[in-house]
Amino acid sequence: MLRFEKRDKTPVQLRVLVPICSVLLGLFMGSVVMLFARVNPLRAYGAIIKGAFGSAYTFSETLVIAVPLILISAGLCLVYRMKFFNIGAKGQYIIGAICGSYLALFGPATMSRPLLLTLMMVLGTLGGALWAIIPALLKVYWNVNEVIATLLLNYIASYILWFFMYGTWGTRGFPLSKNFALNAQLPRILPSPSRLHIGLFFGLAAAVIVWIIIRKTRFGYEARVLGENERAARYAGINVFKTVIIAAVISGGLAGLAGIAHTSAVLRVLQLEINSDYGYTAIIAAWLAGLDPLVAVGISVLLAALEAGGYQIQIVMRVPFGIVGVIESSILFCLLAGEIVTHYRVTLTRRLAA
Amino acid sequence: MEGQEQLMLVMSNITKRFPGIVANDHVNFALRKGEIHTLLGENGAGKSTLMNVLDGIYYPDEGEIVIEGKRVDLRSPLDSMKHGIGMIHQNFMLVDSLSVIENVILGLESQGFYIDKKSVADRIEAIARKYNFRVDPYAKIWQLSVGEQQRVEIIKTLFKGARILILDEPTAVLTPQESEELFGILREMKSEGKSIIFISHKLNEVMSVSDRVTVLRKGLLVGTVDTASVTERELAKMMIGRDVLFRLERKEIEQGREVLKVEDAQAHNDRGIMALNKLSISVHGGEIMGVAGVAGNGQVELAECITGLRHLVSGHVTVEGIDVTNATPCTLASAGVNYIPADRLGVGLVPNLSTVDNAMLRKYRQKPMCRGTFIDYGAACTYADGLIEKFDIAVPLRNAPIKVLSGGNMQKLLLAREIAENPRLLIAEHPTRGLDVGATEFVRKTLLEERDNGVAVLLISEDLDEILMVADRVAVMYEGRIVGIVDTHHVDIAQIGLMMAGAVGAKA
Ligand SMILES: Nc1ncnc2c1ncn2[C@@H]1O[C@H](COP(=O)(O)OP(=O)(O)OP(=O)(O)O)[C@@H](O)[C@H]1O
Ligand SMILES: [Mg+2]
């Protein structure tokens, strides 16, 4: 029988070794599945690494995926510390993309590019923030569980996107908007074909700012106290209402910004599939980073590499899409399972006769 | 040397280190069959740590444990349970929303998939009957009083077949009557041959209930003595290494202006029942007003109404003439109202944050900790260090979560933080609960000092001796009302007792 004992303290070696072993174990599990599918695992993994880091171009594509993850996970690090479990980044991302795209599609054509882009980003951020305020208000006024509220709002957001795409924003019956005009495209920073865009700087800035908020500011302190003990927070005179709302606004706003930045710079068109599942991947990034937004930058890049490399082997090795999913999820599964080993001492015992 | 056969348990050379501190330093401890053995020591001496080692929660760095002549390796509470050890922790470990039955069988290995509640209930009742108390097996934990919850903890350990029972400060949360009932249960167990380890800071209890006493000081063993051969004073000296005053000096001072005035207050408790019943009370500067009463008669609610943590349905609260009825904790803080709550980990402190974070909880908006939007953690550390030094708090690492402090040191930190704010009105709820004799003396002295400085102190306590020792007047609370106020200089204790029981009002 397995037995778990909580550790007083995690030794440093474990903190480094466990994630490495977890990834290796995940790769091994992935290999087994690949062998069944008659794919050579070594070649496949080689292709993933090549696909993610192989050249300046592929690496820049990895970063394209990392940008929204960095933005979203930074915000999540803050709200999760406050124990506001926002899993609605997906919905906030979508609403952000819709709001920003509205200007891109229907804004005055004469507006200068910097102004238009700034307004689009602001509108996207506001849209995401608005979508996050809803569950925050439900929570502070009626104590509605935010996990359920944010999850359900994800579906609503998806269907709002459907509504626009199949409605007036689609073109000739296709769920696809017209292409964004050049003025509405967020600048890319490397020569074509790289799609890496200045959103990268937004992401890095967001991570640093959120880190400062958590570690250095009054608000960060209030959020930590509130997350740990609401009654002590009230005695300390912390305004619970304000703190929850502000944190939700920051988190939702960053998700919204991720949505509009990705849409405007990478897709350059609003469509049904705008990669809103980054909203879920970012949750994993935030947790694996121990809710530290700077660490989350590194984790986001790794998760993005997995995803980018995954695309690559689909194309290069013609493996079915499902296999890529299996590899990704095996690695994630092992990483999360590894958390148990870092927090608990696990021993194997024989069950004593009763 | 004692004969091996009658020794239930021997712990030898137990050493347990934590970052920054050796909590147990080669400690030896022996427990006989059928004895009540007290573990005594100052706050942070390492009593709970030693017992947690025995309960398998901590694994010792050095040393060995022998139970009934056999060496054992205790790596989890489950191991300890299998060797007949059951521990009742300083903070209870019950699940509030579950019933007594469910809590009792929680974590029990032998239970199959299907739970026969009826037979468990019968066994619970049988155990209770054996020790002459009652408990409703189907009641939910949150419906029980603290004393009843403690009995559930006892039943839990007995149900699992404990032969060695560890009680970590069981009486800290009990009224004197409840404590007496507990001692009855313990004596009964002892006569059955069970061995009991008992931790308490109340020397009179130690003297009356235990056969032997082992004293620890700063992680080291001072010695084990027969209770019959020592006096309270000698025990205190073994524990602290110096003589303690058991008597406090109370200066005669001029009473100041009225600071707190509560008029016709009405408020609900957490279960929505009216807990304050048109209560009125007034406290002056330079006065300690004791509030006596059996727990659950509205004392907590009264404190919470004055500190802005509970909503008044009707009535008024004024502090120094300013109406602060239903004001926010923030407003009250600037009015100079400070609070030392009984529930220190629930209201007063944030267990998972560091000493530094906890020390500035009420001050982080002020200079020098606050610089606009930012917090100057350097200044915060300096501030925390100041409190630690001035109040002699044992903090191994000030950046470690506060939950690793010993119970008494948490209380000292809380007290230090509140008093450092120069209150006008100080509300202290069981401020010496869980403190060792030295620290208790220190707290009482501090309260008296505050009074001498003109602060109005509202001292809520179930410990009548404490109230009589430090308070100037005592208000007796019964069913959400003050049934009488008496002067502590010429007081009739029997009279107070009757008032607490709701039998009579105050003498005219
Ligand atoms: N998990 C832990 N991590 C770090 N330090 C700890 C831990 N547990 C206890 N300590 C430290 O070990 C020392 C002894 O603590 P312990 O709780 O055993 O004291 P105690 O004798 O029970 O005191 P009290 O009477 O106040 O309850 C304290 O200084 C405490 O801060
Ligand atoms: Mg203790």
**Residue A354, pLDDT score:** 33
pLDDT (mean) for A254-263: 97
Nearest CA, atom 29, ligand 1: B44
Nearest CA in chain B to A353: B110
B146, B204 Cβ separation under 8 angstroms? no
> Into which CATH architecture does domain A64-316 fall?
Orthogonal Bundle (1.10)
Q: Are residues B347 and B221 in the same domain?
A: no
Report yes or no: B361 at the A interface, CB cutoff 8 Å.
yes
Domain membership of residue B106 as a residue range: 7-240
Asked whether the ipTM of the predicted complex exceeds the cut of 0.95, the reply is no
Q: Are residues B274 and B224 in the same domain?
A: no
Q: Are residues B191 and B274 in the same domain?
A: no
User: E strands along B285-361, which residues?
Assistant: 287-292, 314-319, 322-323, 337-340
CATH of the domain at B277: 3.40.50.300
Q: Give the SS3 label for residue B12.
A: strand
Domain boundary among B210, B240, B270: B240
Query: What are the pLDDT digits (tens) for A297-332?
Result: 999 998 899 888 888 888 877 777 777 788 878 887
Query: What are the pLDDT digits (tens) for A152-167?
Result: 999 999 999 999 999 8
Whether residue B2 is contained in a domain is answered as no
Q: Are residues B227 and B295 in the same domain?
A: no
> How far apart are the CA of B214 and the centre of ligand 2, in A?
15
Whether residue B351 is contained in a domain is answered as yes
Query: Quick one: which H or E segment has residue B30?
Result: strand B21-32
Reported as a pLDDT band with limits 50, 70 and 90, residue B508 is very low
Domain boundary among B211, B240, B269: B240
Reported as a pLDDT band with limits 50, 70 and 90, residue B181 is confident
Whether residue B1 is contained in a domain is answered as no
What is the distance in angstroms between the Cα of A192 and the nearest Cα belonging to chain B? 42
Q: Are residues B357 and B215 in the same domain?
A: no
Q: Are residues B332 and B451 in the same domain?
A: yes
Dist CA B283 CA B301 (whole Å): 17
CA B189 to chain centre: 24
A296, A131 Cβ separation under 8 angstroms? no
Q: Are residues B205 and B338 in the same domain?
A: no
Nearest CA in chain A to B356: A221
Q: Are residues B199 and B60 in the same domain?
A: yes
What would the two tokens of residue B221 be? 């063993």
Q: Are residues B377 and B272 in the same domain?
A: yes
Q: Which residues contact A264 (CB under 8 A, 6 or more apart)?
A: A100, A101, A104, A117, A120, A180, A184, A185, A186
Query: Quick one: which H or E segment has residue A51?
Result: helix A41-53
> How far apart are the CA of B53 and the centre of ligand 1, in A?
12
Nearest CA in chain A to B307: A235
CA-B43 nearest atom, ligand 1: 26
Is the pLDDT at A353 greater than 50? The verdict is: no
Q: Are residues B276 and B231 in the same domain?
A: no
Average pLDDT, chain A: 89
pLDDT (mean) for B309-321: 92
Residues with CB under 6 A from ligand 1: A 8; B 18-19, 21, 23, 41, 43-49, 394, 396, 404-409
Reported as a pLDDT band with limits 50, 70 and 90, residue A217 is very high
**Residue B1, pLDDT score:** 46
Q: Are residues B170 and B317 in the same domain?
A: no
How many folded domains does chain B comprise?
A: 2
Question: Which of A219, A228, A234 shows the shortest C-beta gap to B352?
Answer: A228
Contact list in B for residue A220 (CB cut-off 8 A) is 375
Whether residue B251 is contained in a domain is answered as no
**Residue A2, pLDDT score:** 62
Is the pLDDT at A215 greater than 80? The verdict is: yes
Question: Which of B18, B75, B370 shows the shortest C-beta gap to A5?
Answer: B75
Whether residue B180 is contained in a domain is answered as yes
Whether residue B492 is contained in a domain is answered as yes
**Residue A43, pLDDT score:** 86
Whether residue B447 is contained in a domain is answered as yes
Dist CA B213 CA B200 (whole Å): 11
Q: Are residues B174 and B297 in the same domain?
A: no
C-alpha separations of B42 from B131, B226, B254, B345, B386 in Å: 32, 19, 36, 20, 22
Whether residue B245 is contained in a domain is answered as no
Domain boundaries, chain A: 1-37+320-354, 64-316
What is the distance in angstroms between the Cα of A212 and the nearest Cα belonging to chain B? 9
Is the pLDDT at B96 greater than 50? The verdict is: yes
Chain A residues with at least one Cβ partner in B under 8 Å: 3, 5, 8-9, 216-221, 224-225, 228-229, 231-237, 347, 352, 354
Domain boundary among B240, B271, B289: B240
- β-pairing, B425-429 vs B258-268, is unpaired
pTM of the complete model: 0.82
Is the pLDDT at B359 greater than 90? The verdict is: yes
Question: Which of A3, A216, A234 shows the shortest C-beta gap to B329?
Answer: A234
